[in-house]
Amino acid sequence: MSRRHPPRLVVLGSINMDLVVHCQELPVPGQTIMAESSSEFCGGKGANQAVAASLAGGEVTIIGAVGSDAFADRLIDNLKTHGVDCESVSRCDDHASGLAVIAVDSRGQNSIMVVPGANAAVTPDRVRAAESIIKESDCLMVQLEIPVESVLEGIRIARKHGIRVIVDPAPAPTDFPTSLLEVDFICPNETEATALTGLPVTTVEQATAAAIRLHELGAKVVAITMGEKGTLLHHDGKSTLVPAIRVEAIDATAAGDAFAGALAVRWAQTDDLLDAVSFANTAGGIAASRHGAQDSIATYEEILKFRKQET
C-alpha cells in the first residue's frame, strides 16, 4: 500500500457531546439529588478516534453528522481545532446532535444514557456520497455508534477499492452480521471479544482462543486489548502478547480510541504490525494515565518520547 506521509485516514463514526454530572450517590428511581458539578466534553467514538489519528500524525477526514442545535458548531469547531477535515460531516435540521449524559458518583461508578440524535442519520446514502474520499484514503476506521448498515456500506466501499479497514467493535455487539468481521483488522477489548465470540476472555490463553475464532470468522488481523496485560495480536497463524506500557491508569475513557487512532497511523506509515500495536499500546496507556476523553489523547511527539523513555 501507499506509504504517504502523513497517511490519509477516513473515520466513519459518531460525534457526540458528553454531559458529565458528578454526585455523591447515583439517584434511584423517583429520587431528586443535588449534584456537585457538571462539565461538557466533545466526544463520540468516531470523533475521539479522528482526533487520536490526527494527533498521532495522520491526515484525517471524518464522515458523520451533527444536529441543528447549539452543540453542533462546538463539535465541528473542536474537530477542526484538532486538524480533522469536517467537509463530510452533515448538518441535520431534523435532529439534535448526539448526546451522552453521564452521572458519576464519588466511588467512580457511573450511569450513562446515550441519545444517538444525528448519528442515527448517518445513512448508507450519506456514506456512498463520500465514496471518493474513502477511495483515496489509506485506511477506513469504523466503530458501532452509527447504524450498522452504514458501517457495512463503508466496509463494502473500502473493500471495493482495496482500502484497509479497521473495526473497533464498540459498543459491544450481541447480534451482528458476520460480514462486519470480514475486515483487515479488528481491535476489541476483552468484553467485546466475548460478545463477538461467546468465549470468556480474562486470560492471555482465553484471548488467544477468541482471537483465533475471530480470525476464523473473517478478520485478517485481530488485536484484543487487555489493559495492563497488554494486547494479544494474532495474524499469520501466530499469537503474540505485545506488552502494555507502565503507567498509573486513572481514567480509561478514551484509551481504546487512542489505541485505534494511533494504530491506524503507524500501520499505514510502517506496514509493521508489531510496531504499530506497540505504538498504539503507548498511545492507549498515556490516555489511560490522564483524565478526560479527547483531552487525554497524546500527540505523535509525546508517544515517541514515552517510547524512548521506556527503552
Average pLDDT of 294-309? 88
In a domain, 233, yes or no: no
In a domain, 20, yes or no: yes
CA distance 79 to 281: 23
- What count of Cα atoms within 13 Å lies in the side-chain half-sphere of residue 114? 14
In a domain, 218, yes or no: no
pLDDT tens-digit map of 252-282? 778 899 999 999 999 999 999 999 999 999 9
pLDDT tens-digit map of 71-94? 999 999 999 999 999 999 999 999
Whether a cis peptide bond, with omega within 30° of 0, leads into 6 is: yes
User: Average pLDDT over the chain, rounded to whole?
Assistant: 93
In a domain, 263, yes or no: yes
CA distance 230 to 218: 23
Taking Cα atoms as reference points, which of 155, 157, 150 lies closest to residue 131?
157
Range of the domain at 24: 8-167+245-310
The per-type count for the chain, helices as H runs and strands as E runs, is 10, 13
Q: Give the pLDDT score at 311.
A: 62
* pLDDT beyond 50 at 126: yes
Under a CB-based contact definition with an 8 Å cutoff, are residues 115 and 145 in contact?
no
Above pLDDT 90, what percent of the chain?
Answer: 78
* pLDDT beyond 70 at 1: no
> Residue 41 is part of a domain; what is its CATH number?
3.40.1190.20
Q: Record the cell numbers describing residue 283, joined without a space.
A: 498511545
CA distance 178 to 195: 13
In a domain, 129, yes or no: yes
Q: What CA dihedral angle connects 167, 171, 177 and 183, to 10 degrees?
A: 10
- Count up the domains in the chain and report the number: 1
In a domain, 212, yes or no: no
Q: Give the pLDDT score at 175.
A: 86
Catalytically active residues, by annotation: 257
Q: Give the pLDDT score at 3.
A: 58
Please, which pLDDT band fits residue 2 given cuts at 50, 70 and 90?
Answer: very low
